[in-house]
Each structure stands twice: as C-alpha cells, then as structure tokens.
Structure 1
Amino acid sequence: MTTEYAVDQRAPRPAEDFPGARALIDGVSEAAALNDPDAITEAVKNRLCRLISSPEFQLPASFLEAEEDHYARRLVYRAPDDRFSIVAMTWGVGQGTPLHDHSGLWCVEGVCHGRIRIEQYSHRESRGDQDRFRLEEVVTSEVGGAGCLIPPHDHHRILNDREDDVAVTLHIYGGEMNCCNVFLPRSGDWYQRERRSLSYD
C-alpha cells in the first residue's frame, strides 16, 4: 500500500476548464461567503453531491490516470482571495494516506469516480510530538458521496481499497492546503506526529 504524499515540485496549472467545473466554482464561492464553517461545509457538500452525480459534470480524462508511486493531487481551482481551493485526487489501487489532519482548514470531500474507504479518528491526548487517537468510524463512499471535516474533528485516513479501479475524489478546502500533520503508528494507539509539505502533480 502506498501512503506517501505527492512531492512533485512543478508549478501547478489549474484544471478548471471542464464540464461542470464553473458551476462547482461558482457554488463554492457563494457558500464560502457564509462565514460560518458549519454552514459553509453543509452548503458546499449539498452542491457537490448534486453536481458530481449529474451527467453535466465530466472530469478530464487525465484525472483518471494514477501515478505509480503516490496518489496524485491536481489543482482544479484556487480562489484569488485564498478563501478556498479545489483539488482533485487520483488514487491508484491500494494507494492511500497516513492518518492526517487538515492544518486548521475546513474541507468537503466527494467521490467522483470509483470508491474510497475513510477511517475517522478522534484525538485523545498529546505528549510532546506524539499523539493518541481512537478509531471512531470506517465508511465506504462511492460516486456522489461526500463528507465534511471541520477542525478539530478532521483526523482521518483515506484508502482506495478496490483491486481493479482507480478512484477520484474532489477536495474543497477553506484555503490552500500546502502542508499538514501526519501521524505515523508507533505503539498501540500512539502515533508520531510529523509536519509534511504538500504539492501538486
């Protein structure tokens, strides 16, 4: 299973010109003006679920192409005022993330192709650079499914557990997520915290 983040350092080119992209961007822009994270994420989730289940929404063919050694992060749109960003992630068979947070940003994640497994954790305590977590819920999400993550309840793992297909998800963040904390298993329910930079493919 591949669990490393993308480390490609090329300058990202937003991929916002595809069917349904403008409707998504306009809907998120409207929701982001609500100023309350709960209201924003609920509005974004509702818009995203409707859109990605519609035949009017068609991802670029390149989004279905997985990278061999890491899941791909592809910038779709970054708001000029940095209020939000939209990132498409492509998960090859067996690819996933370590347990991680969202660096203080709200997020809505939706499945556009395939299926993903989400493991949701609760943070129990910290000791220096180590943290204790408890697995709270495991969810399988398919096309049209979406979920909201609002700090401090944003610790989770994502995995493409299918053996025969890539998965593609859209992630809408309350800003640009260019770094986060990852938590690597140590002993029992304790994890080692590491800060990681994120980039785009």
Structure 2
Amino acid sequence: MPKDLKELIQKLREIFQDDHINVDEVRELMESYRSNPEDWKKYAMFDKQGYTRNLVDEVKGKFNLIVLCWGKGHGSPIHDHSKSDCFMKMLQGELKETQFDWPKEEGREMTEKSHSTLKNNSVAYIHNKIGLHRVENVSHTECAVSLHLYSHPAQTCKVFDQCTGHIAEHELTFWSIDGKRTPKKTTASKENN
C-alpha cells in the first residue's frame, strides 16, 4: 500500500513501464492509496464556473494523473474516453456517476444504464467498451475532489447531448499543472460548461 501520493505515483510509473497494463492491478493500487489532503491539497484548485482538471503527473503516451475539483453542483457533460482506460478515485466528498449506452442514432434521447454514488476512497473504472458517463457533484453544500488516472491519455473527447444524442468534439485542457495555474484562455473552456 502506498504511504502517500508520491509513492502512488512512483508505483504507477513502475507499472506503466510495460506496454500491456493489467486493469485489475492498477485498480487495486488506486484503491490501496488512502486519501490524505496533505498529499494533494497543492493540486486542489477550484473555479466557480465549473470543475477543474489539475495535472499531477504524466508519462507521455502512457498515462496522466489528474486531480479534479468539483464545486457545489458542478458536473461533467456525458462524455467518452477515446481509447483511454479511466480510473477515478474519490479523495473527498461524493460524486454521482451515471453511465449511458452509446447512442444508436442522433435525434433520440440517450439511454441511462446505471448510476452509483462514489464515496471517499472508492474507485470507479470506465472505458468506451463499457459505455459513456457523466460525473456530478450533486451536493449544494460540499465540494468534492477526485483523482483520475487516464491510461493512453487523450487530447480530446466526445461529449453528448442527453436529449438528442448529438455529438461534439471537445479539447481537454488543464486548469493547472503541478500546482501552478495555467494561462487563462480568452474563451471559456468548453469542457467545463
């Protein structure tokens, strides 16, 4: 069991030296890390406009590790994960994950498959073969923080309109890198709307 976030990163880097990744091994490692705000508080940067993606560590072409900060009532759109495996660990608070089937055709409401509540230290996993999902902080009194590991990180993702199944491509950006705010863009980040 990693004693802190730094050791978790070290163990992830060891696992990702191989080209083939064992999903169960990565999930078990993510589950074994116990959230400690002292480990991740430097990455926990919030924005009133929407959730933030804060890069903690990356190995080009292998993985990126991101702290996502969810203000009260913030949520993601329904989205895919390109060719990435996505592991999501709760560090603080709770998030609601709703999974959807891929739309069969545009113009129809998307079908909800399941929903679950992710609590502190729990880990969820999703890949495009499983389906699509939306993640939300449904609390209007508490913020939430989650740690996401994307194996084969993507530069873009597809987002979906729940009512029509309409698909749009969105660029994935970081609100901060290694605890330092990235330069603000002149237009609002589409992924946080």
TM-score (norm 1): 0.77
Aligned residues: 173
Correspondence for 1:52: 34
**1:102 lines up with 2:81 in the alignment:** yes
Report if aligned partners of 2:69, 2:143 keep a CA contact under 8 Å in 1.
yes
Distance in 2 between the 1:104 and 1:126 partners? 21
1:32 Cα deviation from its structure 2 partner = 2.8
Letter aligned with residue 50 of structure 2 = H
TM-score (norm 2): 0.80
In structure 2, runs of 5+ residues without a counterpart are 176-193
Superposed counterparts of 1:165-176, under 5 Å: 165-176=142-153
1:135 Cα deviation from its structure 2 partner = 0.9
1:139 Cα deviation from its structure 2 partner = 0.3
3-state secondary structure, aligned to 1:58: helix
1:131 Cα deviation from its structure 2 partner = 7.2
**1:20 lines up with 2:4 in the alignment:** yes
Letter aligned with residue 55 of structure 2 = L
1:184 Cα deviation from its structure 2 partner = 1.1
Superposed counterparts of 1:1-201, under 5 Å: 20-33=4-17, 35-36=19-20, 39=22, 41-53=23-35, 55=36, 58-61=39-42, 63=44, 65-79=45-59, 81-126=60-105, 133-186=110-163, 190-201=164-175
1:56 Cα deviation from its structure 2 partner = 9.2
Distance in 2 between the 1:31 and 1:134 partners? 36
1:46-65 alpha-carbon deviations (Å, 9 max, x no partner): 11111134x597222551x4
- Please, which moves more after superposition, 101-110 or 19-28? 19-28
Report if aligned partners of 2:43, 2:56 keep a CA contact under 8 Å in 1.
no
- Please, which moves more after superposition, 111-120 or 152-161? 152-161
Give me the identity figure in percent. Answer: 20
1:105-137 alpha-carbon deviations (Å, 9 max, x no partner): 11111100111000011225245xx67632111
In structure 1, runs of 5+ residues without a counterpart are 1-18
Distance change >3 Å, CA 114–CA 132, structure 1 → 2: same
Letter aligned with residue 169 of structure 2 = R
Distance in 2 between the 1:150 and 1:181 partners? 13
In angstroms, what is the RMSD of aligned CA positions? Answer: 2.3
Distance in 2 between the 1:29 and 1:175 partners? 13
1:29 Cα deviation from its structure 2 partner = 2.2
